[in-house]
Structure 1
């Protein structure tokens, strides 16, 4: 499969199966996130894996997106360098974590 075909076939998922994510698949996703590009390759981020249903429920309430809480796992990405500001005044982590 080519990168172009992956981009063309991209979609947003809003309904999830009530099925646990296999650990090896979760680790592959986290590894892909870890290898993602970042400003100056600083990789100033942390990823939190949330499986606990009560914590997922609280996160869902906090962000106001009900479908998120239906996922069996939530990956929370956190910027760790609040002082990393680009010339335009935008914090680096807002760009890095959106990639």
Structure 2
């Protein structure tokens, strides 16, 4: 799949079939994440690949209801089920001291964001679906997965073959609403 087509057609997938992800595809997807850009090429990202059903169920439990969702009328995290049902869950982590920290700006979130986007686009190009889950109990998920305290979990990415093709993404704002040339409002 051509890059711009992958960007245009990728959708967040929260329902997965039972079909396992082939080892070769998983390796290609992880390789895409490894090739992402990072601050000063420090490559702070680290990944934990989870395929054990009991671990995925527990991770799902640790991403349950949160005030962010209850104030919007949700009873739970819409991606919670995906964490339990996906054949693979990837914990996208950062070794924070291996990224930039300049002028009060930490770059590990950006670095892991680049890697996660590359991973998710690669998955889509290989016929797989994914969604980025950012709300979970980091301390408990970290303990469950044996992640050292100096590593931060930035997000969880359920990954697998889509059970169904999600509805079309709502229309994006036109460029005229989001782009400014030379100066804001110009």
- TM-score calculated relative to the size of structure 2: 0.49
Mapped contact 2:99–2:107 kept (Cα < 8 A): yes
Partner of 1:76: 91
Structure with higher Rg: it is 2
RMSD of aligned Cα (Å): 1.8
Deviation digits for residues 31-90 of structure 1, max 9, x if unmatched?
111111111111012111101111111111122322221101101111012474533534
The structure richer in strand per residue is 2
Change (3 A) 1:88 1:17: farther
Q: Structure 2: which 5+ residue stretches go unaligned?
A: 65-79, 115-186
SS in 1 for 2:19: coil
SS in 1 for 2:31: helix
Q: Distance in 2 between matches of 1:32 and 1:83?
A: 20
Q: Distance in 2 between matches of 1:82 and 1:69?
A: 31
Partner of 1:86: 101
Mapped contact 2:43–2:98 kept (Cα < 8 A): no
Q: Structure 1: which 5+ residue stretches go unaligned?
A: none
